[in-house]
């Protein structure tokens, strides 16, 4: 019996190091597999992005060679002319104007809703409002476009636009910006639809970052006699400004590239007018409305518009990222 026990212990001691080595080898193989799987996923993103850029450049090259840099400041869009005259100034103008108006409306409203939900809203009302904001983000863009075309556009043209036109008539600058006649399809109507669409992004992200403010900071501010507005202005906003700006930039990217909702209600006119109540177009709306019936140089010009939108969005997001890095560095110092 003693000899059998000694043999059993010798066998276990001999098998022990072998099992541990095999287990370590399995763990190492799993780590290597996980490392390469995640690395391939990350590199694939760069490959896809590079492929998109390359395909846009190849498709836009005939228009780039034909029109050159004059494409950027030419307003006329006449693909059926002989020779064709195509310019991007109208879509670029419409994209920038609608995005600017949309963000000027959505930013204060979205941040105001977030402040109300985190600082002032009763508990029984907080969840319904939060769910309503999330539902706004989930509505398809084509539904926004149909609602804007059949409901919002007529309301603005019959009631809101005449009021502004009469109010600012004869006023320098403002009289030109809000000049008539009223229209169901206009830059302002499209911008208002965009503001409603990007509002949930700003609100949801602002609510999340406002909740990260340590309660002790707000309690200390209330303890020295600050009002709710002073706490928000001096504690909550400075503490979360990086996250808030990130949410705003995300919403701006959505506003720059929105297609179907804008196509429904902007009017698809390539001319530039000083009034925001006049029809216009954006880069994405122009591509969506004309790409299916285009060919040759016309199609290449539309692809070039897509390349311009890509470059515009890239520079906007890059500038936002640079600003966030500066804010983070300043906060660290």
Domain count, the chain: 2
How does residue 203 score in pLDDT terms, banded at 50, 70 and 90?
A: very high
From 34, 49, 67, the end of a domain falls on 67
Interatomic CA distance for residues 324 and 318, integer angstroms: 10
Are 288 and 224 in contact by the 8 Å Cβ rule? The answer is no
Confidence (pLDDT) at 268:
87
Are 142 and 214 in a shared domain? Answer: yes
Confidence (pLDDT) at 292:
83
pLDDT at 1 over 50: no
Q: Is the peptide bond before 193 cis (omega within 30 degrees of 0)?
A: no
Beta bridge partners, 85, equal: 78
Interatomic CA distance for residues 287 and 299, integer angstroms: 9
Give residues with Cβ within 8 angstroms of 306, minimum separation 6. Answer: 56, 60, 283, 287
pLDDT at 161 over 60: yes
Nearest to 113 by CA among 195, 194, 220, 222: 195
Mean pLDDT of 119-133: 87
Confidence (pLDDT) at 2:
45
Are 121 and 47 in a shared domain? Answer: no
Are 151 and 208 in a shared domain? Answer: yes
Are 305 and 285 in a shared domain? Answer: yes
Interatomic CA distance for residues 321 and 315, integer angstroms: 10
Are 277 and 183 in contact by the 8 Å Cβ rule? The answer is yes
Are 202 and 88 in a shared domain? Answer: yes
Confidence (pLDDT) at 193:
93
Are 21 and 47 in a shared domain? Answer: yes
Are 282 and 208 in a shared domain? Answer: yes
Written as one string, the DSSP assignment of 223-258 is HTT--HHHHIIIIIHHHHHHHHHHHHHHHHHHHHH-
Are 51 and 35 in a shared domain? Answer: yes
From 44, 67, 90, the end of a domain falls on 67
CA angle 6, 7, 8 (to 5 degrees): 90
The domain containing residue 85 runs over which residues?
Answer: 70-332
Are 76 and 32 in a shared domain? Answer: no
Confidence (pLDDT) at 333:
54
How does residue 18 score in pLDDT terms, banded at 50, 70 and 90?
A: low
Are 295 and 189 in a shared domain? Answer: yes
Q: Is the peptide bond before 278 cis (omega within 30 degrees of 0)?
A: no
Are 43 and 95 in a shared domain? Answer: no
DSSP structure class, residue 292:
G
From 67, 93, 108, the end of a domain falls on 67
How does residue 114 score in pLDDT terms, banded at 50, 70 and 90?
A: very high
Tell me the CATH number at 327: 1.10.3720.10
Q: What's the pTM value of the predicted model, to 2 decimals? A: 0.84
Average predicted confidence (pLDDT) for the chain? 86
Give residues with Cβ within 8 angstroms of 218, minimum separation 6. Answer: 231, 235, 236
Are 155 and 206 in a shared domain? Answer: yes
């Amino acid at each position: 019996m003693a000899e059998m026990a000694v043999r059993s212990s010798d066998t276990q001691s001999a098998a022990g190091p072998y099992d541990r080595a095999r287990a370590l080898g399995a763990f190492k193989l799993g780590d290597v597999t996980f490392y390469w799987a995640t690395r391939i996923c990350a590199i694939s993103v760069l490959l896809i992005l590079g492929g998109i850029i390359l395909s846009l450049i190849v498709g836009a090259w005939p228009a780039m060679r034909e029109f050159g840099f004059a494409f950027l400041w030419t307003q006329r869009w006449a693909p059926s002319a002989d020779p064709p005259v195509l310019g991007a100034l109208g879509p670029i103008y419409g994209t920038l104007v609608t995005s600017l108006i949309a963000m000027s409306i959505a930013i204060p409203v979205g941040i105001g809703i977030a402040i109300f939900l985190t600082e002032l809203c009763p508990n029984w009302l907080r969840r319904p409002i939060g769910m309503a904001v999330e539902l706004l983000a989930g509505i398809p863009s084509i539904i926004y476009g149909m609602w804007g075309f059949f409901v919002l556009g007529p309301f603005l043209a019959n009631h809101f636009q005449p009021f502004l036109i009469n109010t600012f008539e004869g006023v320098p600058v403002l009289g030109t910006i809000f000049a008539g006649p009223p229209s169901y399809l206009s830059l302002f109507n499209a911008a208002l639809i965009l503001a409603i669409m990007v509002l949930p992004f700003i609100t949801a992200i602002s609510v999340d970052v406002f909740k990260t403010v340590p309660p002790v900071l707000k309690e200390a501010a209330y303890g020295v006699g600050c009002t709710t507005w002073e706490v928000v202005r001096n504690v909550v906003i400075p503490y979360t400004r990086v996250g808030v700006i990130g949410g705003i930039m995300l919403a701006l990217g959505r506003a720059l590239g929105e297609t179907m909702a804008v196509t429904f209600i902007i009017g698809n006119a390539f001319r530039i007018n000083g009034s925001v109540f006049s029809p216009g177009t954006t880069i994405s709306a122009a591509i969506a409305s004309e790409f299916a019936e285009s060919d040759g140089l016309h199609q290449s010009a539309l692809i070039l518009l897509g390349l311009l939108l890509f470059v515009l969005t890239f520079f906007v997001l890059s500038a936002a990222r640079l600003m966030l890095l500066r804010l983070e560095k300043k906060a660290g110092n």
